[in-house]
Amino acid sequence: MLEVVAASSLTVMAVASITPLFVRQARLLSESRRERIALEELANQAERIAATPAADLDRHLAALALSPIASRTLPEARLDAVRGSSLLGPTITLRLGWNAPGRLDHPLTLVTWPVVAGQGRGAVR
């Protein structure tokens, strides 16, 4: 009888100590899945911006929207684009944040360089 009590108490302690690890792993997998989807969304948006002619760029940026998959997966997601400049020319900084610890205040950021009017894709400065 003593062996049964000892074995069951060891089993309960093992399960009690392992369960939080499983919960933490599930949360980590869920958050990494969201980050992967967010990075894919930013890359896709950057490709669309790079393929947009300079004359249509303002209209494209005004109509910037998340894909249906990103909208479903990322709770309260916010996507915005900010124009800027660098030594390599004009830039567009894409930022994507969603309702997760640390993500609204520190969104994922990707910078892209749009095609400048009068320059082709292969233009060298």
Q: What is the pLDDT along the chain (125 residues), one digit of tens a residue?
A: 888 888 899 999 988 889 999 999 998 998 999 999 999 999 999 999 988 888 888 899 999 999 999 999 999 999 999 999 888 888 999 999 998 887 778 899 999 988 775 555 544 43
What pTM did the predictor assign? 0.76
Q: Which of 93, 92, 110, 105 is nearest to 38 (CA)?
A: 110
Q: Counting every residue, how long is the chain?
A: 125
Q: How many CA atoms lie within 13 A of 85 on its CB side?
A: 3
Which residue shows structure tokens 């108490």?
Answer: 9
Provide the pLDDT for residue 74: 92
